[in-house]
Amino acid sequence: MTPGCSIPGPIEVADDVLYANAHPSMSHVSAEFVPVLGDCIRMTREVLLTTTGQPFLIAGSGTLGWDQVASNLVEPGEDVLVLNTGYFGDSFADCLQTYGAKVDQITAEVGGVVSQADIESALKTKKYKIVTFTHVDTSTGVLSDAKSIAETVKKVSPETLTALDGVCSVASEEIRMDDWGIDVVLTASQKGLGTPPGLSILVASEKAIKVFENRKIPPNSYYASWKKWLPIMQAYEKGSPAYFATPPVNLIYAYHASLTRITKGSPSLGERLQLHREASKKIKAAARELGLKQVPLDENFAANGMSAFYFPDGVTAPDVLPRLFKKDVIVAAGLHKAMKEKYFRIGHMGISVVDEQRGDIDKVIASMKEAIGQAIESKKV
Amino acid sequence: MTPGCSIPGPIEVADDVLYANAHPSMSHVSAEFVPVLGDCIRMTREVLLTTTGQPFLIAGSGTLGWDQVASNLVEPGEDVLVLNTGYFGDSFADCLQTYGAKVDQITAEVGGVVSQADIESALKTKKYKIVTFTHVDTSTGVLSDAKSIAETVKKVSPETLTALDGVCSVASEEIRMDDWGIDVVLTASQKGLGTPPGLSILVASEKAIKVFENRKIPPNSYYASWKKWLPIMQAYEKGSPAYFATPPVNLIYAYHASLTRITKGSPSLGERLQLHREASKKIKAAARELGLKQVPLDENFAANGMSAFYFPDGVTAPDVLPRLFKKDVIVAAGLHKAMKEKYFRIGHMGISVVDEQRGDIDKVIASMKEAIGQAIESKKV
Ligand SMILES: Cc1ncc(COP(=O)(O)O)c(C=O)c1O
Ligand SMILES: Cc1ncc(COP(=O)(O)O)c(C=O)c1O
């Protein structure tokens, strides 16, 4: 990655992962490749702390996970509840509607989360097929409380499924899929999982697979259909090849390299999450010292893998971002439609956090101090 | 690729393409990456000899191109005609039905093509929204006559669109999209285009885009929706970033490297196709000498980028494939449901054909001679 690229994905990936992405072409049905995909399926389970979840690894991006949920777990006309904490909630709802779901949304105020009380009362009004939420909304840095959401759903409407959009949280935030009873975790390769973009990664619980198997009509997508993919994933896991559509062979090698680091390397997965928490605290404390306000309204609902800060009064993106760029620190502009111009986003996931010797976090903090200071100074003149 | 891998895709890719696939991570909205994707859009047009076609480059595989056709160009209940020359025709039809098309099929006999007369009379019975055909069906090696099909459609039913599945033909068979009046060419990265798998590549004619824009209902897929992707492709081509779903950044660098070879390198695109024709002739002549029968019934309807041969009487795959494997020549087993066990397939696309100094084609021929000879011999004992 360009030195110091600190956007919330695609993130910088380790050299051995890049190297694996340049693996000489291999047949997707070769004896060498089959166990590599099989291992990726198994290690994906480890990352999400599930023993019974069914992973789907498909060429695509995070977005394709929404299509999978919408076309395999919901039938046209069924009710779905979307807990909306920003840009990605809007899009998930749009996708669900495309496949015929009747979508109700509870939209949190900007920077806030949806309260358990609101979820509870919504669940009492209607029988929802599924409740979806964005674990970390990348547009706001808001972290939803996955465990409590799943608890509330189980308590009030035990048949309802829960789907967690973990594109910006898998491998940077704690997710205990089995313990918490989450039915779907969907994500992508290019953020906490430290792999180049191009892979849609989804894990479905046994309950979700049962709901899928009991559909009245077949899935209403073809490329995202679990009817097509489930036998393929099962075959590769058992060690034999099967074909529906060609897997992204090189990227699977790259994902394998990154998963091996995450599940078998040092730091352990638990330590990795802890390092994300610490880096996040450091960056948020530094921003507070600079007088920057966080977009998340409550510290307890702020992501550990990214941060979103409002610019100081009178300062805008063109005052800050180019100054950071000159210091080789690339951050992302705002994305939430309500206040795009008023804030910026910093990613701190994966290698820049885990490999502390690189000093990336300190560099980002120092550069942010300078750039914000200069921006404020320039406005005084 | 494993030395001598001669399957009809994924094919071996050039070293500079692999190297590009290991490009350090870049933001998909960075000033460095935007023109790379823009160039890929432009060079994709060059490969298909179109000046006005609209390319779509999306993380996925060839299969996703079918979803794009089915969900953007056909509305539920509309009639579609599928010209079926093998396995991939069955699947394309399945995909179209998934999104609500009413599919009629004309299924050629095994190894044959659909006659122009049959197409003509089908087109006279009903108003079809689109006629689809597999340019090279990878299960049989049958090459359909794209130019004549398009002519027939234009003559009999000028409003009907034509869609060419070029997953196994783009950059190995002649395709003159504008001259012939083909409305959709869909393909994937991993065959003639010489790039690792993971990219769905589709080009739509101006007429197809108009049909899309005049839809009565919105596209019934989300991830494959041109409503989402068209503005993104247009923005990148103009040099500014836009976001719907994260593009497979590294693979776009790899595709760029391969497209640069194909469109700007030596041999020229025309010479490249000629080299495929010559290699194909050589392999097919050698097989004829060995007494092997081709799956395609007519020499004029046989692919130039792959071959499919029946085993000699009494000989089966386990007699031949392991013998080839020992000589480091990996071919593919049969795929057509009618006679899976009776034939094998050899890919001869891309680098193994274009870089003649490698001597790949001679090696394949020599190994095939030995292996088939030994297999026949072993049966005599
Ligand atoms: C929370 C969240 N969900 C979904 C997506 C969509 O993923 P992709 O861009 O890989 O399609 C993103 C992308 O950044 C995201 O941050
Ligand atoms: C003619 C044809 N069409 C479609 C496909 C599907 O492409 P993919 O496997 O990349 O999804 C293939 C795959 O080999 C093919 O050969």
What pLDDT, in 10s, does the model give residues A144-180? Answer: 999 999 999 999 999 999 999 999 999 999 999 999 9
CB-nearest partner of B246 from A24, A188, A221: A188
From A83, A169, A142, select the one nearest A295 (Cα to Cα). A142
What does chain B come to in residues? 381
Number of CB atoms found within 10 A of residue A348's CB? 25
What pLDDT, in 10s, does the model give residues B267-286? Answer: 999 999 999 999 999 999 99
Atom index in ligand 2 nearest the CA of residue B197 equals: 10
Which residues sit opposite A294 in a β-bridge? A309
Ligand nearest to the CA of A89: 1
Q: Is B246's CB within 8 Å of A61's CB?
A: yes
Contact A132, A97 (CB under 8 A): no
What pLDDT, in 10s, does the model give residues A321-330? Answer: 999 999 989 9
Contacts of B246 in chain A (CB under 8 A): 9-10, 61-63, 188, 190, 197
Dihedral in degrees, nearest 10, Cα atoms B329, B333, B335, B338: 140
Parts of chain A belonging to CATH 3.90.1150.10: 269-380
What fold does the segment set A15-264 form as a domain? Aspartate Aminotransferase; domain 2 (3.40.640)
DSSP-derived secondary structure for A275-327? HHHHHHHHHHHHHHHTTPPBSSSSGGGB-SSEEEEEPPTT--HHHHHHHHHHT
Parts of chain B belonging to CATH 3.40.640.10: 15-264
Mutating to test ligand 1, I would choose from A88, A191, A193 the residue with most ligand atoms within 8 A of its C-beta, which is A88
- Model confidence band, residue A380 (pLDDT cutoffs 50, 70, 90): confident
* Joined tokens for residue A140: 């706001």
Question: What confidence score (pLDDT) does residue B4 get?
Answer: 62
Residue A280: HSE in the Cβ half-sphere, 13 Å Cα cutoff: 27
Phi/psi region, residue A229 (left: phi>0; alpha: psi -120 to 50; beta: rest), is alpha
Give pTM, 2 decimals. Answer: 0.97
Query: Does the complex come out with an ipTM higher than 0.85?
Result: yes
Distance, CA of A296 to CA of A175 (rounded, Å):
20
Q: Taking all residues of chain B, what is their mean pLDDT, rounded to a whole number?
A: 96
Q: Of all protein residues, whose CA lies closest to atom 3 belonging to ligand 1?
A: A167
Of the residues A223, A326, A336, A344, the best mutation for testing chain B's interface (the one with the most B CB atoms within 10 Å of its CB) is A223
From A80, A20, A27, A46, select the one nearest A201 (Cα to Cα). A46
CB-nearest partner of A18 from B22, B70, B190: B22
Residue with the two structure tokens 């997710």? A175
- Model confidence band, residue A334 (pLDDT cutoffs 50, 70, 90): very high
Question: What confidence score (pLDDT) does residue A1 get?
Answer: 46
* Nearest chain A residue to B10, by CA: A27
CB-nearest partner of A198 from B23, B63, B251: B251
Q: Is the predicted pLDDT of residue B1 greater than 60, yes or no?
A: no
From A5, A45, A337, select the one nearest A185 (Cα to Cα). A45
Ligand nearest to the CA of B59: 1
Ligand nearest to the CA of A59: 2
Q: Is the predicted pLDDT of residue B40 greater than 70, yes or no?
A: yes
For residue A10, the CA-to-ligand 1 centroid distance in Å is 10
From B345, B333, B308, B304, select the one nearest B135 (Cα to Cα). B304
Contact A288, A133 (CB under 8 A): no
Q: How far is CA B186 from the centre of its chain?
A: 7
Q: Is A59's CB within 8 Å of B62's CB?
A: no
CB-nearest partner of A63 from B67, B94, B223: B223
Q: Is the predicted pLDDT of residue B93 greater than 80, yes or no?
A: yes
Q: Are strands A306-310 and A142-143 parallel, antiparallel or unpaired?
A: unpaired
pLDDT > 70 in chain A, percent: 99
Q: Is A99's CB within 8 Å of B222's CB?
A: yes
Q: How far is B32 from chain A (nearest CA, A)?
A: 10
Phi/psi region, residue B132 (left: phi>0; alpha: psi -120 to 50; beta: rest), is beta
From A47, A44, A23, select the one nearest A33 (Cα to Cα). A23
CATH number, span B269-380: 3.90.1150.10
Section B181-198 average pLDDT: 98
Residue with the two structure tokens 């110091």? A4
Contacts of A5 in chain B (CB under 8 A): 25-27
Question: What confidence score (pLDDT) does residue B380 get?
Answer: 85
Contact A141, A349 (CB under 8 A): no
For residue B167 and ligand 2, the question of a CB distance below 6 A is answered with: yes
Alpha helices in B195-292 (DSSP H): 206-213, 226-238, 249-264, 269-289
What pLDDT, in 10s, does the model give residues B326-358? Answer: 998 999 999 998 899 999 999 999 999 999 899
Distance, CA of B31 to CA of B35 (rounded, Å):
7
- Model confidence band, residue A4 (pLDDT cutoffs 50, 70, 90): low
Can you tell me whether residue A15 is helix, strand or coil? helix
Identity of the amino acid at A249: V
Contacts of A242 in chain B (CB under 8 A): none
CA distances from B296 to A288, B137, B303, B321 (A): 72, 10, 9, 21
* Joined tokens for residue A226: 């679990």
Alpha helices in chain A (DSSP H): 15-21, 34-47, 62-72, 87-98, 116-125, 146-156, 177-180, 206-213, 226-238, 249-264, 269-289, 317-326, 351-354, 360-380
For residue A62, the CA-to-ligand 1 centroid distance in Å is 5
Question: What confidence score (pLDDT) does residue B110 get?
Answer: 96
Q: Which residue has the higher pLDDT, B338 or A273?
A: A273
